[in-house]
Chains A and B, each alone.
Chain A
Amino acid sequence: MRTKGTAVLTGLLALGTILGAGACAGNKTETASGGSGCDTSKGRLVIGVIAPMSGKLSAIGLGIRNSAQLAVEQANQKCAVKGYQLTVDAQDDEANPDKGAAAAQRFADDPNVVGIVGSYNSGVARAIQPKIAGSKLVQISPGNTDPALTRGADFATAPKRQYDNYFRVVGTDDLQGPFNARYMVEKEGKKRLAIVTDGKAVGENMATQFAAEAKRLGAEIVIREKVNENDSDFASVLTKVKAEQPEAIYVGSEYHVAGPLSKQAKDLGLNVPISGNDGLFDPQFIALGGKDGDIATSVGAPIEKLDSGKAFVEAYKKKGFSDGYGGFGAFAYDSANVLITSIGKVTAKADWTGAPAQRTELIKEVQGYRTDQGANGTVGFDQYGDSVNKLFTVYQVDSGAWKDMTSGEFEAK
């Protein structure tokens, strides 16, 4: 009895350890072969990419990697950084903060790395920020939407810049959650709302911001529940939600939870729209069970409607990547281009050494960057490192595909 008990216990412990450490890493390093007639005599500069390229968010992560790759290859063809060959070093963070921080540390220690495009998950960024602060390595995120990353925990009342080397090209949850709520309550006329989150900090924050604005507009939050992210059976939670007769369900999570949840709600006879933030805005949401009428808000304008966005989509398709650009590819493309333009300016003054002083100079270039010709339109940063482009778009599933409904900026009333 005793031996067996111990064995089981040890087994479970071992299991925990192995899981904690994460299964073997599927890191991939891809290099761009620019190869055109540019002068690359001064060597090679690396743009680091940190994104979830495997696991449940891989549709987003691979889109980020490929889009950064595309920007770098275009830059190499145009000789955008004179004297240097640019390459991409993409590291898979598996949406795991430890993996992301380890990759960031490696990038920070490597003088050839000029900057990081990443991460997608705010939780990963939180682990990366302190690792690279000392080395002044610039980081531009194509997907972090947690407002605390730039403006601190008291972002609403006493915003304070957290790291001068951290930037992002997307709008934040404190705007996106209320933007979503306003659409659901005012445009869709939903007054009884249910909230389901996956318990992660980001999902919780979004839901809280959503709930606050919805209540202010006179809607009622009839129930708020959490599900386990690894579950595939949401029938129990949805039965509970159904008893409260909501008119819509706001899901504070990503497509891998929201898609099946949408289908299972319908199966239970709870045929109401699912709404959520940018994590839902991916074709995979529909493949996994998202139904017509479901809603997602996302950052930026629909890229198919901008000339510069269309150019990105065409170039991406021409490349023949096996995965789509996803909801965040265009942002990764813009992030990479910020880095490429800025490094071009810095290396025009002096050869790249990777010294902290030169990295600080790069941060200044990034801070001052501004264009309205990005794949998402305007790209630039305010005094906190946040994007000046605070545009959001509402998308709705229509005949099995995402369709943009309306775009706008959120202004608190």
Chain B
Amino acid sequence: MATLAQQIVNGLVLGALIGLIALGYTMVYGIVQLINFAHGEVFMVGAFGAHFISLYVLPEGVPWYAALPVMFLAAVAVSVVVAMAMERLAYRPLRGAHTLAPLITALGVSILLQEVVRVFYPGATAPLPFPRAFPDGSLAVGPVTVLWTGVLALTVAPLLGAAVHLYVERSRLGRAMRATAQDADAARLMGIDTDRVTLATFVIGGVLAGVGAVLYGIHYTQIDTAIGFQNGIFAFTAAVLGGIGSIRGAMLGALCLGLVKSLAGQYAWGGAQYDYVWVFALLILVLMFRPQGFLGRPERVRA
């Protein structure tokens, strides 16, 4: 029983962290029908941005409650700048090209970013210890222990997800986003600057990835240049599972993925070495019976 509860908590923490990345995948797909494989790298550079600020800019001995906000700001800034540059330089020139062109470009951007960080960031050829900018120790509820950093992730991620959902539903820019997602041509005819809307979508994705990167770093206490790819694949899977294009779906898909990975490792046949297998088996099953994912809308046939 204790083990089950602990595994559920483990899964939810992992899911919450993945969820923040999954939101970026799903929103970009919703607006421009692009699977931005480089989004995992937006997350990764954010982590390195926070690492940089903490190691080279912040003076020694700054208390964590002062350092953490600065690290969040740095990570968000780096992630947003990279996401914007990516959209402006790599994807916008390809708007209207065959769908494969931006997809392959996204892969190229992903590898470019990984290599740039690996080659130019000091020490990034190996895993780097991430600064401990949050109280060590954990919350114990009965037999279940959750690190304080896990508690933070479980609090911040759903709140941010809800905030983004509300923003898209209520705000003026959100309405423009939904209009662009439904029909970009019609939106443009109605006077919506779809380029600006697309850029705004990348910015929001960058903010979420940046926040996620710091939460990830303080929780696992190490980062490397491959974290973007590894978690990007999970996040992409979560987004598809929840219904790509759906904001609530991405969060739901991510939590679901975290739970499956953690519980399958404990209880399913084959043990922990097969946890990936169960994650992707679930994905295949869901897509077979519900191709649009949990909360996605069925694909419309375009003229």
Binding site for B on A (CB under 8 A): 1, 3-4, 7-8, 10-11, 14-15, 18, 23-24, 26, 53-59, 199, 225-228, 230-233, 235-237, 239-240, 242-243, 256, 259-260, 263-264, 267-269, 284, 287-289
Contacts and interface: CB of A to CB of B under 8 A. Distances in A.
B273 A225 contact: yes
A227 B291 CA distance: 30
B17 to A, nearest CB: 8
B126, B147, B271 pick with most chain A CB within 10 angstroms: B126
B118, B221, B226, B262 pick with most chain A CB within 10 angstroms: B221
B272 A240 contact: yes
Contacts of B266: 236, 239-240
Interface string B1-22: 0110011001101100000000
B78 to A, nearest CB: 20
A235 B14 contact: yes
B253 interface: no
B145 A288 contact: no
B220 interface: yes
Contacts of A4: 33, 99, 299
B52 interface: no
Given A10-B100, A239-B6, A288-B127, 14 more contacts: A4-B33, A18-B111, A23-B118, A56-B126, A56-B224, A226-B271, A236-B10, A239-B3, A239-B7, A240-B266, A240-B272, A268-B6, A284-B126, A289-B222
A1 B302 CA distance: 9
Contacts, number: 129
A23 B224 CA distance: 15
Given A54-B118, A236-B262, A260 B272 contact: no
Contact of B221 (A54, A58, A236, A260): A260
Contacts of B301: 1
A199 B273 contact: yes
B119 A26 contact: yes
Interface string B244-284: 00000000000000000110011000011101100000000
Contacts of B220: 232-233, 260, 264
Interface string B101-113: 0011011000100
Contacts of A228: 273, 275-276
B107 A59 contact: no
9 contacts: A11-B104, A11-B106, A15-B107, A23-B114, A226-B272, A240-B7, A240-B272, A260-B220, A284-B126
Contacts of B115: 23-24
Contacts of A287: 129
Interface residues of B, number: 49
B89 to A, nearest CB: 20
A236 B272 contact: yes
B48 interface: no
Contacts of B104: 11, 14
A267 B138 contact: yes
A23 B111 contact: yes
A353 B124 CA distance: 41
Contacts of A235: 10, 13-14, 262
A15 B262 contact: no
A267 B145 contact: yes
Contacts of B100: 7, 10
Interface of B is mostly: helix
A242 B103 CA distance: 43
B35 interface: yes
A14 B140 CA distance: 45
A263 B272 contact: no
B254 to A, nearest CB: 13
Contacts of A284: 126-127
B182 interface: no
B138 A11 contact: no
Given A23-B114, A236-B262, A256 B127 contact: yes
Contact of A26 (B118, B145, B262, B273): B118
A3 B99 contact: yes
A7 B100 CA distance: 6
B88 to A, nearest CB: 22
A263 B137 CA distance: 11
Contacts of A264: 220
A8 B119 contact: no
Nearest to A238: B10
B256 to A, nearest CB: 15
Contacts of A289: 129, 221-222
A239 B275 CA distance: 14
Contacts of B10: 233, 235-236, 239
A268 B145 contact: yes
Contacts of B2: 243
A55 B222 contact: no
B177 interface: no
B72 interface: no
Given A55-B126, A268-B6, A288-B129, A236 B273 contact: no
Contacts of A267: 138, 145, 147
Contacts of B107: 11, 14-15, 18
A233 B7 CA distance: 12
Nearest to B114: A23
A177 B138 CA distance: 34
Contact of B37 (A11, A225, A230, A233): A11
B155 interface: no
A232 B43 CA distance: 15
Nearest to A223: B271
A243 B143 CA distance: 11
B232 to A, nearest CB: 10
Nearest to A11: B103
A15 B37 contact: yes
A53 B118 CA distance: 12
Contacts of B114: 23
Nearest to B122: A322
B299 A236 contact: no
Contacts of A59: 126
A240 B138 contact: no
A24, A232, A289 pick with most chain B CB within 10 angstroms: A232
B108 to A, nearest CB: 9
B227 interface: yes
B10, B37, B129, B276 pick with most chain A CB within 10 angstroms: B10
A267 B114 CA distance: 30
A226 B273 contact: yes
A201 B99 CA distance: 41
